[in-house]
Amino acid sequence: MNASNENSKTSIPSQTDIPFTGEGIFPKGGKNEAYARYFTGTSYLNMLSLERVVIGNVTFEPGCRNFWHIHHKGGQVLLVTGGRGWYQEEGKPARELRAGDVVNIPPETKHWHGAAKDSWFAHVAVEVPAEGASNEWLEPVSDEEYDKLGDCYVG
């Protein structure tokens, strides 16, 4: 609120000041081979919780994104932990994502998420528990759609 506070703020770096290279708070894990056929580019998956609530840390190399998909019944909450990326629901403008952002994805909503072209990106994905929950994977996000995003709406 005053000059001396401003100075101390700029001299102490915070976690989000660090250029994100894919190695963040949560370990990156190995290549996400189980879901590779639903991704354009290379992603990494490290499961953080397999019981009670399923939680995974997903890291995307620059340009990597998942295919359009739908979470049936449950939905998913994304907690962005590093880098810059995108979230888009069908028929809506893409939303730019940075560390600290949260996306609460409703069930039955066609969408995709992934890295910006020039940045690594990571989010923790919390699966919303629901009886009979399933994921439906659809078509890839085309290069044409993806390449337009640079100057897109920043949410």
Q: Is 49 among the residues that bind a second copy (CB under 8 A)?
A: yes
Q: Is 55 among the residues that bind a second copy (CB under 8 A)?
A: yes
Which of the ranges 31-39, 76-84, 87-95, 111-119 carries the binding residues for a second copy, by CB under 8 A? Answer: 76-84
Sign of CA dihedral 66, 124, 56, 122: positive
The residue from 7, 27, 142, 143 that contacts a second copy (CB under 8 A) is 27
Q: Is 20 among the residues that bind a second copy (CB under 8 A)?
A: yes
Nearer to a second copy, 45 or 99 (CB): 99
Q: In sequence order, what E strands does 67-150 have?
A: 69-72, 76-89, 95-98, 102-105, 111-115, 121-127, 134-137
Rounded CA-CA distance 99/17 in Å is: 10
Q: Is 128 among the residues that bind a second copy (CB under 8 A)?
A: yes
Q: Is 56 among the residues that bind a second copy (CB under 8 A)?
A: no
C-beta separation of 68 from 112 below 8 A: yes
Which of the ranges 34-42, 74-82, 137-145, 146-154 carries the binding residues for a second copy, by CB under 8 A? Answer: 74-82
Task: Tell me how many degrees the CA angle 5-7-13 measures, rounded to the nearest 5.
Answer: 100
Rounded CA-CA distance 130/4 in Å is: 50
CA atoms within 13 A on the CB side of 8: 4
The residue from 58, 97, 116, 126 that contacts a second copy (CB under 8 A) is 126
Q: Is 12 among the residues that bind a second copy (CB under 8 A)?
A: yes
Binding site residues, a second copy, CB under 8 A? 12-21, 23-27, 48-49, 51-53, 55, 74-75, 77, 79, 81-82, 99-100, 102, 104, 106, 124, 126, 128-129
